Structure 1
Amino acid sequence: MNQEDSNDARLERILRNAQRNKIELFDGKNSPQNISIYGFLLGIVCGGGFIFSFYGSIPQLGLFLSALTIFHFMEYLSTALFNPHTLTLDSYLINHGRQYHAAHSAAFIEFFIEYYFFPRWKTFNYISYLGLFLIILGQGCRTIAMFSAKQNFSHYIVDHKEKDHVLVTHGIYKIMRHPSYFGFFWWALGAQLLLLNPVCFVGFIFVLQKFFSDRIAYEEHTLQRFFGQEWIEYKAKTPTWMPFI
């Protein structure tokens, strides 16, 4: 073996050792270390938000951060409990697309601009309490929906019917179609009321109504293919409780 081959072998061993010793965090893999660090950071933000809501000058911001982290945690937990075979880091829904991030960014930008120029607008009042109520209502309905549907719940619309796929009509599904969508719809609007964001509140109404109208129309088309008359009868007697949907 010549000197060049020896150097190549030594370099290869160094690279292999470096790869083995590499600490892999935030690499998108559903690894134990990523799961734990995501959960830890969500817990830090949630706890910090609650503390800030009691001792800070703008309590609604702390409450919103806590509500947001609880939302993401419950999304992951429900998937872990009922659909572990589909569980990934994306089940937290933190990386839920550019539109989702843009919506939250717009909410934060409006909040801080209005707080800077018009601080009186951000005084916690009855509108904030109404927003907090809608957040609790929305989160409660979405969580109950996920726990009622169990393995039938999915973050994605499926185009083929699995063998164990059934039409869920019990529990909260007796009261409304798509209770998880209902939950997020009112959760998102409640968040803007809590933050006292009039511009985003109006904008969210139009965006959410358009998004869920399109999504529900497509999903209900697939459900009718899957369940036929059973779905038609269920749909006829069960509202969505979302305006114009």
Structure 2
Amino acid sequence: MSNLDSAIKLLFVVFVFLAILIALPAVVFGVIQKWQVIFLLCGYLLFFSGNVWRVWRYGKLSKTQEDAQFKESAGLVILAGQFIAFLAIHWWAIYNFSRLSKTETFLQVIGMIIVVLAIIINQLAIRTLKGLFDRITIKPNHQLITTGIYRQVRHPVYLSYVLLLIGYCTILQSFVSLVLTVVSCTIWLGNRINIEEKMLVEKFGDRYQAYQRKTKKIIPFIY
């Protein structure tokens, strides 16, 4: 399968993903025509276009079974829980939005800014990693990237996911979905980052430990 074929296949998966998480509940709850929903659909599509670009430029990602988090029992449980949480976050937020009698313009503007920031961070991170953007796997030619946005945080891609979900919840003004986002991402990404960093320490040793001391994990200047 050529890179273009793989990219087209991934783009189809992205459309299905957006249909299940946003379009379908928006149709069910009668808000598919709202500009907020349309903005979020476009924003999510731009966000995941980075994944499609990476596959088109450098070839398909590693198989899901090769991801280190899938190889651990605890990781599998956490991933299953995160999938359920993703559905709950998106569907509940749209349901809540459909019942609002009034929306707060200030919150929606803040949410839009957060979504745009998430897109920018995600695109910068993927284009910095290039072909190394993949699942949690270590390959023979693996390199340690500490340039660009990786000078500030070690896991900007994960930061972009958190920001995307926070922006989504803020635009739709769902406090419940926001709390669920914080809790589920703390568990999901906490486990994922621990696995990934352990592998990187084993691969790069003192070089990665020195990098850890100079940078924050996921939130610039804070954590």
Contact 2:7 2:52 in 1 (8 A): no
Residue 109 (str. 1) matches residue 91 (str. 2): yes
Q: Shift in Å at residue 108 of structure 1?
A: 4.4
Aligned-pair RMSD on alpha carbons? 3.5
Change in CA separation of 1:181 and 1:98 when aligned onto 2, cut-off 3 Å? same
Residue 213 (str. 1) matches residue 187 (str. 2): no
Contact 1:59 1:124 in 2 (8 A): no
**TM-score between both structures, scaled by the size of structure 1:** 0.67
Contact 1:128 1:194 in 2 (8 A): yes
Query: Following superposition of structure 1 onto structure 2, how do residues 2-151 of structure 1 map, counting pairs within 5 Å?
Result: 35=9, 38=12, 58-82=34-58, 84-86=59-61, 102-120=84-102, 123-151=103-131
Query: 2:36 aligns to what SS in structure 1?
Result: helix
**Matched AA of 1:184:** Y
Distance 2:10 2:218 in 1: 37
Distance 1:171 1:37 in 2: 27
**TM-score between both structures, scaled by the size of structure 2:** 0.73
Aligned counterpart for 2:132 among listed residues 143, 147, 152: 152
Change in CA separation of 1:81 and 1:190 when aligned onto 2, cut-off 3 Å? same
When structure 1 is superposed on structure 2, of 69-78 and 215-224 the one drifting more is: 69-78
**Matched AA of 1:60:** Q
Distance 1:99 1:66 in 2: 26
Distance 2:212 2:123 in 1: 21
Report the counterpart of residue 68 of structure 2 in structure 1: none
Q: Shift in Å at residue 197 of structure 1?
A: 1.3
Contact 1:64 1:195 in 2 (8 A): no
Report the counterpart of residue 205 of structure 2 in structure 1: 228
Change in CA separation of 1:114 and 1:32 when aligned onto 2, cut-off 3 Å? closer
Query: 1:169 aligns to what SS in structure 2?
Result: coil
Distance 1:37 1:180 in 2: 19
Distance 2:202 2:168 in 1: 36
Q: Shift in Å at residue 85 of structure 1?
A: 4.9
Report the counterpart of residue 239 of structure 1 in structure 2: 216
The one-character-per-residue Cα deviations of 1:180-216 (angstroms, maximum 9, x if unpaired) are 1111111111111111111101110110111111110
**Matched AA of 2:12:** Y
Say which structure, 1 or 2, has more relative contact order (CA 8 Å, 6+ apart).
2
Report the counterpart of residue 3 of structure 1 in structure 2: none
